[in-house]
Structure 1
Amino acid sequence: MMAPAPFYPEIAEGPDNGSCFWVGTGDGLRLRVGYWKATGRTKGTIFLFPGRTEYVELQGRTAKSFADRGFSICTIDWRGHGLSDRVLSNPVTLHVNRFSDYQYDVAAIIAAASAVDMPKPWFLLGNSMGGCIGLRALLSGVSFSACAFTAPMWGLRMSRVQSVVARPVSWAAQVIGQGERYVPGHDGNNYALSNPFEGNRITRDPTNYEYWVSQARSKPCLQTAGSSMQWLHQSLLECGHLSKTHPPDVPCIAFCGEQDGVVDIEVIRDRMNAWPNGRFELMPGARHALLLEVPKIRETVISEISDHFESIQIAV
C-alpha cells in the first residue's frame, strides 16, 4: 500500500479530485507522486515530467486544461524537489549525484501509476529538465504511446565563453569537493520570490507568474533555489550523451519559445528534424515556460498536444 502524502489543492487550482502519495525509489529515497483522474470516459493518462524547480501543485492549471479535454494527469516531485527527499543537507540547493539517478524516479512513478490503475494509453509530456529525463526514459525502453516536449533541456543555452568553460569548471568543482557549491549566478534564493515579473525569463503572462509567486509565498516547503555545480556537470554530460543517440520510434511533437533563454533552441530543432514522426514548433514571442505563458500561446500548445495524443489514442 502507498501512504497518502500532503497535497495543497487550494494553491494548485487543478481538478477537484487531485491526490498525492509517497513512493519509494530503488536507491532508497521517498518521493511524492500526484495525480488527477479524468471523470467519465478518459482518453488516457499524460505523465507530466516537470522541469527544474517545479513540483506537483505547479501543474494544477495544466492538469485542469488537459482534464477538460478528457485526459488524466500523473506527475511527480523529482528528488530534491517539492516534498520529495532533498539530496543535500542544504535542502534548497538543486543537486543530483548522477543524472541517471532521475531514472529511479521514473521507475517509481511508472510503478505508482500502475498501482492506482491510471487509464491507458499512456503519454509522456516532458517539460524542460523533465524533457531530458523523459527522453532518456524513452531510450531506455519505458513505453509510451506518444510523447510531447515543451522547451526540453536537450542542451543549455550558453554564450560561447560559457560553453567552453562550463564543463571543465564544473568537473573540477566535483573533483576538489566543491560540487555542492552554487553555479555562478545562482544562490539560495527562490527565483519567483527574488525576481519581479518585469524582466523574468519564465513567462510573459503576469497572471501565471503570480500563480507561481503566490505558491512560493504560501508554501515555502515546496520551493527550491539555485543549482549546484555537480547538477550542472551532470546535466551537461547527459545532454552530450543524448546528442549521440538516435530518436526513439515514438510519435513526437516539441515546442520551444522564440525568446527562450534557458535551453538551446537549435539543439531541439536539430533533434526534432531527425525524429521519425516528429514535429517541431517555435512559438513566437514565448519565453521558457510555455505551459505558463500568455493564454493564446498556452492554449495553442495544450490544444496541439491534446490533438496529437488523441490521434494516437484513436489509433490504439
Structure 2
Amino acid sequence: MAELRADTAPYYEDVACGPAGGHAVWLSAPDGIRIRVGVWPEGSRGTVFLFPGRTEYVEKYSDAAQHLADAGYAALAIDWRGQGLTERPAHDRKIGHVKDFRDFQRDVDAMLAHARSLGLPRPWHLLAHSMGGLIGLRSLMERQVFARAAFSAPMWGLPLPPHLRAVAWTVSSLGSAIGLGERDTPRSGKVADPAAAPFDGNLLTTDPDMFAWMQRQVVRHPDLALGGPSLGWLWAALREMHGLARQAAPDTPCLTLLGSDEGIVDPDAIQVRLASWPGARLRMVEGARHEALMEGTDLRGALYRDIIAHFEG
C-alpha cells in the first residue's frame, strides 16, 4: 500500500452546517488517486463512516455529522473518486466516471487508515446512502471493521424494465470495450446543471428547504457539481450489483431506510438482499423520497434517533 499522507483540503464552511472542528484533508489512495475526506473528530461514543451517493460530497453530509455529534459520535465523509473535489476525468469534470467499482475500496482503505492515524474512537459504524450503499456492502463483506451498519436507499439494483436492462448491459459494455467508457450515458436522467434543477418533480426530497440548501452548495461552489454517469460507470455498476447479489450477506447488524416514494434505486432488489441478511431490519419511511435523511426536520430527527439506537444495539 502506498504511504498515506494528509494535507489540508478545502472545506466550504459557508454551505456546511456541521459541528465545530470540521475540516477536510487530502489523502492518497493506494493507487495514487488524491481523494478528499471530511472529518468531524469530536465524539467519544464511537465513529461513523459516511459513504455518500453518486454526485455527493463532504459538505452535503455536514448535517449528518451534526446529528451524530449531538449523540456523541465522531464522523468522516468522503468525496469518492470521480466526484466532489476528488480527482475526476480530465476531458470533462461533469461526467461521473469509474472503471471498476472495486476501485472505490481503495478510497475506503485510505479513509480507514486516516481514522486509525487520528485514533478516532471505537466502535466504528457505517452509514451509507445510495451508491455508497453498494460500496459499503462490499466493504462489509471484505472487512471486519464496522460493528454495525445503516443504509439509506442503497443502490443494490436499478429500477430498469427487462428490455432496458438488456440495453444498458449491451451499450455500456460495448462502449467501454471500444474506448468510449468516459463518455456520458445517453438519457441518464441526471441534469447537466444540478443548480438549475426545479424542486417540482424532483426525486430526492419533499422538503423545499433541504432542496434549496443542496442547490446553494453547488451554486456557491460549482466545482462540487456533477452531471450524469459515464458508460464506464454504468458498466461497472451493473457488474458490481450483479456480482454482490450472488454473494452471501455479511453478518454485520443492519438497519435500512427506504422511502415509500423511492424513484432512483430498486426497492425490490433491496428487499431481496435483506431477506437473506440475518438480523437485518427494513424501515419503510412513508412519504419520503430517495433522500430520506434530507426530509423535513421532524422526520429527519426521528430517523437519526433510530440510527443511533441501532448503533447502540
TM-score (norm 1): 0.94
Partner of 1:138 in structure 2? 140
Structure 2 gaps of 5+ residues are none
* Matched residue, 1:224: 226
Q: In structure 1, how many angstroms separate the alpha carbons of the residues matched to 2:193 and 2:119?
A: 36
1:39-58 per-position Cα deviation (integer Å, ceiling 9, x unaligned): 5xx21000000000000001
1:141-290, aligned counterparts within 5 Å? 141-186=143-188, 189-190=191-192, 192-290=194-292
One-letter code aligned to 1:285: G
Correspondence for 2:92 = 90
- In the other structure, the counterpart of 1:18 is 22
Deviation at 1:135, TM superposition (A): 0.6
Contact 2:194 2:227 in 1 (8 A): no
Supply the distance in 1 between the matched residues of 2:190 and 2:307 (Cα, whole angstroms): 35
- Residues of 1 paired with 2:279 and 2:57: CA distance? 30
Q: TM-score, normalised by structure 2?
A: 0.95
CA–CA separation in structure 1 for the residues paired with 2:165 and 2:305: 35
Q: Distance in 2 between matches of 1:174 and 1:8?
A: 35
Cα deviation for residue 195 of structure 1 reads 1.4
Does 156-165 or 224-233 show the bigger shift?
Answer: 156-165
What is the percent sequence identity of the aligned residues?
A: 40
Q: Offset of 1:179 from its aligned partner? A: 1.6
Match of 2:31 in 1: 27
**Which residue in 2 is equivalent to 1:50?**
52
Distance 2:189 2:251 in 1: 40
Among residues 43, 56, 63, which one is paired with 1:61 in the alignment? Answer: 63
Change (3 A) 1:91 1:26: same
Measure, in 1, the Cα distance between the counterparts of 2:311 and 2:170: 41
1:281: how far off?
1.4
| Residues 1:246 and 1:127: Cα distance change in structure 2 (over 3 Å) | same
Query: 8 Å contact 1:49–1:134 — kept in the other structure?
Result: yes
Q: 2: distance between equivalents of 1:19 and 1:285? A: 34
Rounded Cα–Cα distance in structure 2 between residues aligned with 1:183 and 1:294: 32
Which amino acid in the other structure matches residue 267 of structure 2?
I
- 1:225 deviation in Å? 1.0
> Partner of 1:314 in structure 2?
none
Residues 107-148 of structure 1 deviation map (CA, whole Å, 9 limit, x = unaligned): 010001111111111001111000000110111124101111
Q: Given that residues 74 and 121 in structure 2 are in contact (C-alpha distance below 8 angstroms), is that contact kept between their aligned partners in structure 1?
A: yes
SS in 2 for 1:4: strand
Structure 1 stretch 80-89 or stretch 189-198: which is displaced more?
Answer: 189-198
Aligned-partner Cα distance in 1 for 2:256–2:274: 7
**Partner Cα distance (2:221, 2:80) in 1:** 17
Q: In structure 1, how many angstroms separate the alpha carbons of the residues matched to 2:194 and 2:203?
A: 10
Question: Number of paired residues?
Answer: 309
Larger deviation: 176-185 or 65-74?
176-185
SS at match of 1:99: coil
Asked whether the 8 Å contact 2:191–2:197 carries over to 1, the reply is no
Q: Which deviates the most, 290-299 or 55-64?
A: 290-299
Which segment is superposed worse, 160-169 or 25-34? 160-169
Task: Tell me the SS of whatever aligns to 2:170.
Answer: helix
Q: State the SS of the aligned residue for 2:172.
A: helix
